[in-house]
A = this chain, B = another copy of it.
Amino acid sequence: MTVKTNSIKINTSKNFEIIDITSQINDLIDIDEGIISIFSKHSTSAIVVNENEKGLLNDLEFMMDNLVLDKFSYQHDRIDNNARSHLKSFLLSSSECLPIKNNKLDLGTWQSVFFIELDGPRHKRTVTLTMVGE
């Protein structure tokens, strides 16, 4: 049994951007079997698991804009003009804890892991990977 850690740096180019990080994570896995924490160190981003289909990812952006409406006045916007980015992050969550099997993420056929930028563009977003297993 061991703990291994690593991290991914991501540059984003749009305000809302969904980036598939599955293969980057798989390349950095160095245990055979166990659990991996995938954690974004930013409160205006998210880590999610779902299908990598372009239309669906556009639908996600559309849905999030409908759930966190821009017709309201948010208090956080007096400090920093990104309240809606934080609020979307609360709903989508900044981490996932997933199974590892045979030295890879043990995902289903139609599943990928995504980093979601909610307040870009940004330079060097950091996602930490913490693996526990053997």
Chain A residues with a Cβ under 8 A of chain B: 1-3, 5, 33-35, 37, 39-43, 48-51, 53-56, 58-60, 62-63, 66-69, 72, 74-80, 83, 86-87, 89-101, 106-111, 126, 128, 130, 132-134
Contact = CB atoms under 8 A, between A and B. Distances in A.
Contact of A79 (B1, B53, B77): B53
A97 B97 contact: yes
User: How many of these chains are in the complex?
Assistant: 3
Given A42-B111, A50-B94, A53-B76, 17 more contacts: A3-B134, A35-B37, A42-B110, A43-B51, A48-B90, A49-B93, A53-B79, A53-B80, A55-B75, A55-B79, A56-B74, A59-B75, A59-B83, A63-B87, A100-B130, A101-B130, A106-B128
Interface centre among A63, A75, A80, A134 (most CB of B within 10 A): A63
Interface of A is mostly: mixed
Nearest to A34: B3
A58 B86 CA distance: 12
Given A55-B75, A108-B126, A110-B42, A49 B95 contact: yes
